[in-house]
Chains A and B, each alone.
Chain A
Amino acid sequence: MEATDNDLMLAVRYGDLDQFGVLFDRHHQRLFDFFYRLSGDSASSEDLVQDVFLRMFRYRKTFDTSSEFRGWMYHIARTARVDRFRSEKKDPLLKHDGTEKPASPLRVVESDERSALLQRALLQLPPDKRELLILARFEEMKYEQIASLLNVEVGTVKVRVHRAIAELREIFLRISGEKPKCAVKKSEKILRTT
C-alpha cells in the first residue's frame, strides 16, 4: 500500500530525508496551482512553491503524529505568502480594484479566453474570499479543514463560500458582458405557465 503523506512526512522528520522528494513530486503542482490561482503570476508562484518546501523541511520537527499533512502544508503556504509580500511591502496576490472594463461578449467563446476572464474575475474578488473559494473549490479540502486552517467556525466558512461564489458570479458577468442568464429562468417559466 502506498505510504500516506503523513507517513512520508514523519519519515522525513525522523531522518529518512529521501522521502521528501516523494512529497515534492506529489504536491508541487497542487501548491503551484494554489498560488497561481491566487495571483495569476507564474514566476512568483514557482518561487513560493520552493519557499514552502524549504520551510516544510526546515520545520519538519514540528510535524508529529497528530498533524495532518495537507492542513500543515497550507498553513505554511499561507505564512510564506504573507511573509514574502510583507517584505516587499505589496502583495500582488491581494490586488483587486474592480475597475476592469467589460470585455466584448464575442470574446467569451474561446475556452482560453473564457479561462482568462474567469481568472480575472477571481483576481477581482476580495482576497479573503478568493483564498477561501480556491481552498474550497480546488484544494480538495473539507470545510472542517478550511475552518481549522483559517481559525474560524465551520458555519462561517460555509456562509462565506456561498457569498464568495455569488460575488464571483456578479464580477464575472460584469467583466465578460455576459447576460445574467441565457436560458429562461425556471421561475419565469413557471410564472408564464401559471
Chain B
Amino acid sequence: MRCEEVRENIADYLAKTLREPLESQTSEHLKQCASCSDEFDELRTMWADLGEIIVPSPDPSKTRAAILAAVAHESPAPNRFQKRRFDMKEALRAAAIIVVLATLATGASLYLRRRETPSPSAPAVAKAEAGHVRGVPSAPIILAEYGDYECLSCDSRDMVRRLLQKYPDAIKYEYHHFPLTEIHANALPAAMAAEAAGDQGKFWEMHDLLLASHAKWSHSPQAKQLFSDMAKQLGLDENKFNHSLESSTTEAGILLDMKTGSALGIKGVPSFFMDGKKLELGPGAFEQVDHLIADRLKMLQAR
C-alpha cells in the first residue's frame, strides 16, 4: 500500500471503521513507514484529545417541561365523551395484551404459522389502536370496521360515505385490518399496501383504489407488483412504498389489528362495532346503522 492510499484511509482508521483487508494493510504500512506513522500518531492523539473537552450537563427539567407542555397542548382536549372513548381504547389495549399473552403461552397462533412473525412495536400498537379515521376525530360516536380487502362484501365505502354525509359531526369511522389469510392469499399484502401508502399520507387513496380494483389483483400471483403500480398511480415514492410493503413494522401493525379483532370476537368480515359494541348487520346495512346512530345520538344528548 502506498502512502497516498494510507492517507485516504486515515479518517476511517481514526474512526475504527476501516474494513479488512484495508485495516491490516494500513496497519502494516504504518509499521513500515515512519513518516506516515508519525503523522498518524499525531492525528490519533488529537482525535483522542478531543474527548477531553468538558461539556456541561444542564438541568433538562425546564426544557422537558416546555416540550411536554407543547405535546399536551396538541393532545385531544377532555370533553364529555372522552371517558367513554378512553374506555374503548383501554378495552382494545387489554384485549390485545390478553391475546399476545395467550399467544406467548401457547406458543402458537393462527397467524404465526405463516412465517417468522415480528413482535408488535410501539408504532404498530399505536397504529392498530388508532385505526385509520374518516370523519371528525373528536366525534361522539365511533363506528369501527374490521375488513379484508380481498373480501367482496367488504366494500363499505358507499355506506360509510352516506353515513358521514348524514352525520358529518357525529361519526368517527375507523378502519382496522382483518385479512383472512387462510382463504385470501392476497389479503395481507393488500393490507400492507394500504399501510405502506399510509406511511406517505395516502392510506385512504390506496384503500379506495384497492377496493375499486379488487377484481384486478385479488387472484393475481403478481399482486405486489400491481400494488407498486397502484402506488405509482397515486404519485407515491415507489422505493419508499416497496420498503414499507415488505417492512416487518407494517406487518406487525396489521397482525395486532387481527389479534385485537379476534379478541373482540370477530368471526367474519366485514365486522362493525359502534362504540365498542358489535353490530349484527344484514341486508340493508345503511338503514340499520343509520337507525342505530340516530338512537345513540338521542341517548347521548339526553345525558
> Binary interface profile of B, 47-82, with partner A (CB < 8 Å = 1, else 0)?
101111111111010011011101100110000000
Is A11 in the interface zone, CB < 8 Å from B? yes
Chain B contact surface mostly: helix
> In the complex, what residues of B have CB within 8 A of residue A180's CB?
42
B15 in contact with A16 (CB, 8 Å): no
Is A122 in the interface zone, CB < 8 Å from B? yes
Is B123 in the interface zone, CB < 8 Å from A? yes
A114 in contact with B64 (CB, 8 Å): no
List B residues 13-63 near A (Cβ within 8 Å): 14-15, 17, 34-35, 37-38, 41-43, 46-47, 49-58, 60, 63
Is B201 in the interface zone, CB < 8 Å from A? yes
> Binary interface profile of B, 240-251, with partner A (CB < 8 Å = 1, else 0)?
100110010110
Is A175 in the interface zone, CB < 8 Å from B? no
B58 in contact with A46 (CB, 8 Å): yes
Question: Which of B15, B58, B122, B200 touches A136 (beta carbons < 8 Å)?
Answer: B15
Interface size class of A (residues with CB under 8 A): 35 or more
Is B290 in the interface zone, CB < 8 Å from A? no
CA distance A172 to B122 in the complex (A): 47
Known A42-B58, A118-B49, A186-B37; judge A7-B249 contact (CB<8 A): yes
Query: Of the 9-residue stretches A81-89, A96-104, A156-164, which lies at the interface with chain B?
Result: A156-164
> In the complex, what residues of A have CB within 8 A of residue B64's CB?
21, 24-25, 28
A32 in contact with B34 (CB, 8 Å): no
Identify the A interface with B (CB < 8 A): 1, 3-4, 7-8, 10-11, 13-17, 19-21, 24-25, 28-29, 32-33, 36-37, 42, 46, 49-50, 53-54, 57, 61, 64-66, 111-112, 114-115, 118-119, 122, 133, 136-138, 142-143, 157-159, 161-162, 165-166, 168-169, 172, 180-181, 185-187, 189-190
